Amino acid sequence: MTTLFDILKKDCKGTFHWLETASDIETAKARVLKLSSESQDEFVVFRGIDLQVVAKFPAAQPTPKYSGN
């Protein structure tokens, strides 16, 4: 049996949306790291075979701007 890993993105309302599936955990993590470098959204990797979240990538916090004062 093949274990697949779903990549989900959490929107501002707290709803998760499926993005894609990876065939192994390392590929899923690498993909989420790339996605999270381009977005401030939260992502999770979900293992459907046992309904477990196996990795969480919290939303990136915006970098504070220096006001110069």
Asked if residue 43 is part of any domain, the answer here is: yes
Is there a contact between 9 and 43 (Cβ–Cβ < 8 Å)? yes
Asked if residue 24 is part of any domain, the answer here is: yes
Q: What is the pLDDT of residue 37?
A: 87
Q: Which residue has the tokens 């196996």?
A: 54
Q: What is the pLDDT of residue 50?
A: 92
Segment 45-65 shows an average pLDDT of 80
- DSSP alpha helices (H): ranges in the chain? 25-37
Model confidence, pTM: 0.80
- With 80 as the cut, is the pLDDT of residue 8 above it? yes
Q: What is the pLDDT of residue 66?
A: 55
Quote the CA–CA distance of 41 and 12 in Å, as a whole number: 8
Amino acid identity, position 24? D
Beta carbons within 10 angstroms of residue 10's beta carbon: 17
Segment 32-48 shows an average pLDDT of 91
- Domain range spanning residue 38? 16-57
Q: What are 15-35's pLDDT values in tens digits?
A: 999 999 999 999 999 999 999
Number of domains the chain is built from = 1
